[in-house]
Structure 1
Amino acid sequence: MARAQVTDLVVVLPGITGSRLADADGGAVWDLSGAALLQGLRTFGRSASALRLPKDIGDGDPGDGVVPVGLMPGLHALPGVWHPVDGYTDLLRWLERRFTLSVSDNLLTFPYDWRLSCRYNAQRLKGRIDLELERWRTSAPERREARVVFLCHSMGGLVARHYVERLGGHEITRRLITLGTPHRGSVAALAGLVNGVRLLGPDLDPDLGSFARSLPSLHQLVADHACVTGPDGLAYARDLPGLPGVDAALLADAARFHADLRSAPPRAELHAISGIGQHTATAARYADDRLALLPGTGAAAGDGDGAVPRLAAVPAEAAGGGFPVTGSATPYEQHGSLHNNGGVRDALRNLLGHERPDGPTLPVGGEPARARLGVQVSALLPAGAPYEVTVTAPDDALRLTAELRPADGGRPTARALDDLGGGRYGATFPPPGPGAYRLSVGRTTALSVVADR
């Protein structure tokens, strides 16, 4: 198959925890994925205090020698900071197969120190783009009018938006594509700050809460809309003094960060791709020093990707028609796998061209129809507990199979889902051994399983 021609510079930005970090001597600081994830989390948990940021860090660099060195290649997770996320290697390989793109040529990756403020990383992005676009434009006559297309997962979209809308990046940007970016923040990020987390028990793993609560970036992911229930209805987190686990100064600064984005003229073409169909918290209730997540009800119960509700996956300005969010795709997918979703890649085939996309961004011609599945599972499972999978679908009498595959490439285990009626399905796996796993859920055919998640 001939590769589609792309003469622009395409820049891929990962989400929070999606960049590998190293110390000044090149030693790995954060580089845990796949089979090494479980043991590595224990090691990281014990050394997290050294990576805590000072309270007055603001938009600065802590000067601790930590540098970003690449994108996370495989499944990675840091409980208390963000949800499990698939690696980016497969996305980069797909882009090179489908388009005239080559890593380190016109397909760039922008790893960044995800502990730090989105403003700080946007300034770094500006410096990188200034150099790389000039290099690309002068490399051949037909590239003189090349512009930049940003492809951003999760928090990477906030970094790119600040560059594009506040630092003059709109002048050279053709298109900004965001995948599950919490443009209006996430209630789950707030819960992580308030509740903290222990990985495998207090005797083995320290609480990572103190590390997470020092991060300007995590505060900038907190929901920028009224989301905490109280006696007077929903309130903004920043309006609730004394909320434990939250740095009030960082939260106030995060509010200014989002306000600056809202006030910026919407001059760049934005395509906000958001996952739907997954039970996603849209609000939370605070009681007994903990924040309990409250998924939506009715149709709103599945209106998100499990981490970012759909209402937050587009800028607040889009609701009034003042923001150019065009051709946005909404596949049924979990947040951590959006960049590897087949429907998203259908959309990217159209969005990476020069011309403004026309028509639907999720063509289905020639590919098997994907079932609209919402998957509920635990992201972190206690040792010895069975693994329960619940699936919702708008269709009854589907034949569905769930496959649990070890991230180290071990033998997968499959279970047929029981039809529980009313579009609900379920299965229970025996307690899996320690390690990281991927779950796929799909329709069972006579010969195979068509994976949807």
Structure 2
Amino acid sequence: MARAPVKDLVVVLPGIMGSRLADADGRPVWDVSGGALWAAVRTLGGSLKRLSLPKDLGDGHPGDGVAATGVLPSLHAIPGIWHPVDGYTALLDWLERAFTLSPPTPGTPGNLVAFPYDWRLSCRYNAGLLKDRTERELTRWRASAPDRQDARVVFVCHSMGGLVARYYTECLGGHEITRRVITLGTPHRGSVAALAHLANGLRKGWGPFGLDLSAFARSLPSLHQLVPDYACVKGPGGTLAYVRDLPGLPGVDPALLADAGAFHEGLRRAADRPVPTTLDAVAGVLQRTATTAEYTGGRLVPLWDIRDEDEGGDGTVPRLSARPANASRSGYGVGESHTSCEQHGSLQNNTGVREVLWRLLGQEPVFHRGPGGDGPVPLGVLAPPLLEPGEPYEVTVAVPPETPRHDEQLITADLCPDEGGPASSRSLRNLGDGRYTAAFPAPDPGGYRLAVWTAGHPEAPVTALTLVCGNGG
């Protein structure tokens, strides 16, 4: 099939942890993915602890020689910092196959650029690097042919990458050359998951394996910039408070938190231009997602609801956060461009999301005439992002009550090692009232993908990602 024409420069930004990092001598300090993920995390655990950042770094670089060297190709995770996320080379390969996009090579300009970055650092710092790289590549691309002189930039951003791109376009002048910013599960208003990781540290049971990276996580400006920018901590009487109004909350650096608030406020003010940058926000929906929290018993306990409503999200980023608030905080700055029944770590590889990218890159949507029938059933999947040795793998699935025959579905789940070994398959047991469940024997250490689908629609699964730790050997 012929590739669809795209004249613009397309820049792909990964989320937090999605870029390889190497030290000044080129040795990897964060380059772990694939089926041997747990062993690699253990091997690099000491290196990651040494990557802790000094206090009062602000928007600078610590001068430790660490640099980003590429995007991660496969499942990656750091326990206690963020949930597992899939890689980005599959997305880049698809963009190159589907469109007239090609990466630059020495001496040859290209219009498909992967932008890895040191995800430890402030989004402001990385936005400055994005400005330099984008404007350099666009200048080369425009100069390479007469019909490219009016080319502009399209940013495709997963998770925190959307905050980096927005700061460049909204605050550093990038809107002048940008056609649109496409965000996939970006926590525009923050994520309770980030706050819980900071406040609680590594959950009990992992510390004995030498991987307590809590101090490392708490030194990161980037992770603080993912803390909710809305009232999310439940107090007496059910009132909700902003994190910044809770002095003494453990694990949160007050200076980094205040700076994160200023970062989000700056984005809101800058976006309030007469002609704002076109922003297309893709949100994952129907997955059970921590949206508020309550501090009790010395821990921050995530809660699913906000003001008695369970709005869901992508399992990591609440739906209310997947698009930004406007400058006055009276509503949303943009509408939802698309909602996908998918989990956060797999949005960039979801089939429905790719159909949205096809449209947003200026092409007519693919239309196939088929036998008709019902479309895929929306599924909310709850599966563990982290497992300890010997724990069985349990998955529960909910089908919304407004779905026809929501309590009569045939649902299958496949649990597959990330390195591509044989999958274990289970038919989910119907518990009634649209609830389904299955259990797998305790998996071996490593990374896993769980694909869940309804009968007749294996092409539209919901994908959950899991890291299984080792036994401490």
Q: Which category of TM-score, normalised to the shorter sequence, fits these structures?
A: over 0.9
Alpha-carbon spacing, 1:373–1:297, altered in 2? closer, same or farther (3 Å) = farther
The Cα shift of 1:369 comes to 2.4
Deviations 1:95-149 (A, max 9, x none): 1111101122100010000000000000000111121110000000000000000
When normalised by structure 2's length, the TM-score is: 0.90
Alpha-carbon spacing, 1:205–1:54, altered in 2? closer, same or farther (3 Å) = same
Classify the secondary structure of the residue corresponding to 1:116: coil
Answer whether contact 1:347 1:363 (CA < 8 A) is retained.
no
User: Within 2, Cα distance between the matches of 1:428 and 1:53?
Assistant: 41
Once the two structures are superposed, the pairs formed by residues 33-44 of structure 1 within 5 Å of their partners are 33-44=33-44
Q: Paired residue for 1:380?
A: 386
Alpha-carbon spacing, 1:214–1:389, altered in 2? closer, same or farther (3 Å) = same
The Cα shift of 1:410 comes to 1.2
Classify the secondary structure of the residue corresponding to 1:328: strand
Alpha-carbon spacing, 1:118–1:128, altered in 2? closer, same or farther (3 Å) = same
Answer whether contact 1:198 1:205 (CA < 8 A) is retained.
no
Counterpart amino acid of 1:210?
A
Q: Paired residue for 1:443?
A: 454
When normalised by structure 1's length, the TM-score is: 0.94
Alpha-carbon spacing, 1:40–1:198, altered in 2? closer, same or farther (3 Å) = farther
Classify the secondary structure of the residue corresponding to 1:149: strand
Q: How many residues align?
A: 445
Q: Paired residue for 1:162?
A: 167
Classify the secondary structure of the residue corresponding to 2:277: coil
The Cα shift of 1:44 comes to 2.5
Counterpart amino acid of 1:370?
P
Alpha-carbon spacing, 1:13–1:260, altered in 2? closer, same or farther (3 Å) = same
Once the two structures are superposed, the pairs formed by residues 70-219 of structure 1 within 5 Å of their partners are 70-104=70-104, 105-197=110-202, 201-219=206-224
The Cα shift of 1:47 comes to 2.7
Name which of 246, 250, 253 aligns with 2:256.
250
User: Within 2, Cα distance between the matches of 1:444 and 1:401?
Assistant: 7
User: Within 2, Cα distance between the matches of 1:332 and 1:51?
Assistant: 35
Answer whether contact 1:112 1:121 (CA < 8 A) is retained.
yes
Alpha-carbon spacing, 1:221–1:399, altered in 2? closer, same or farther (3 Å) = same
Shift >4 Å, 4+ stretches = 297-300, 318-322, 361-368
The Cα shift of 1:321 comes to 6.5
Answer whether contact 2:206 2:212 (CA < 8 A) is retained.
no
User: Within 2, Cα distance between the matches of 1:196 and 1:365?
Assistant: 51
Answer whether contact 2:29 2:47 (CA < 8 A) is retained.
no
Q: Paired residue for 1:54?
A: 54
User: Within 2, Cα distance between the matches of 1:298 and 1:211?
Assistant: 33
Q: Paired residue for 2:409?
A: 398
Answer whether contact 2:291 2:306 (CA < 8 A) is retained.
no
Q: Paired residue for 2:267?
A: 261
Q: What are structure 1's unaligned runs of at least 5 residues?
A: none
Deviations 1:413-440 (A, max 9, x none): 0000011111111001111111111000
The Cα shift of 1:49 comes to 2.4
Q: Paired residue for 1:65?
A: 65
The Cα shift of 1:297 comes to 7.4
The Cα shift of 1:46 comes to 2.5
Answer whether contact 1:398 1:443 (CA < 8 A) is retained.
yes
Answer whether contact 1:136 1:143 (CA < 8 A) is retained.
yes
Alpha-carbon spacing, 1:63–1:199, altered in 2? closer, same or farther (3 Å) = farther
Q: Paired residue for 1:415?
A: 426
Q: Paired residue for 2:288?
A: 279
Classify the secondary structure of the residue corresponding to 1:317: coil
Counterpart amino acid of 1:30?
W
Counterpart amino acid of 1:196?
G
Classify the secondary structure of the residue corresponding to 2:320: helix
User: Within 1, Cα distance between the matches of 2:391 and 2:407?
Assistant: 29
User: Within 2, Cα distance between the matches of 1:322 and 1:377?
Assistant: 30
Deviations 1:349-393 (A, max 9, x none): 110128xx9xxx898865982220110011111111111000011
Deviations 1:182-203 (A, max 9, x none): 0000111000000111586333
Answer whether contact 2:380 2:397 (CA < 8 A) is retained.
yes
Counterpart amino acid of 1:396?
D
Name which of 215, 224, 228 aligns with 1:223.
228
Once the two structures are superposed, the pairs formed by residues 323-342 of structure 1 within 5 Å of their partners are 323=333, 325=334, 328-342=337-351
Answer whether contact 2:292 2:306 (CA < 8 A) is retained.
no
User: Within 1, Cα distance between the matches of 2:460 and 2:359?
Assistant: 23
The Cα shift of 1:83 comes to 1.2
Q: Paired residue for 1:18?
A: 18
Counterpart amino acid of 2:310?
A
Q: Paired residue for 1:309?
A: 318
Alpha-carbon spacing, 1:3–1:40, altered in 2? closer, same or farther (3 Å) = same
Q: What are structure 2's unaligned runs of at least 5 residues?
A: 105-109, 401-405, 463-473
Q: Paired residue for 2:395?
A: 389
Alpha-carbon spacing, 1:291–1:69, altered in 2? closer, same or farther (3 Å) = same
Answer whether contact 1:34 1:76 (CA < 8 A) is retained.
yes
Deviations 1:237-272 (A, max 9, x none): 111011011101000000000000111134100000
Answer whether contact 2:325 2:332 (CA < 8 A) is retained.
no
Classify the secondary structure of the residue corresponding to 2:188: coil
Answer whether contact 1:3 1:97 (CA < 8 A) is retained.
yes
Which sits farther off after the overlay, 105-114 or 289-298?
Answer: 289-298
Q: State the superposition RMSD in angstroms.
A: 2.1
Alpha-carbon spacing, 1:363–1:301, altered in 2? closer, same or farther (3 Å) = farther
Q: Percent identity?
A: 60
Answer whether contact 2:324 2:332 (CA < 8 A) is retained.
no
Classify the secondary structure of the residue corresponding to 2:310: helix
Classify the secondary structure of the residue corresponding to 1:436: strand
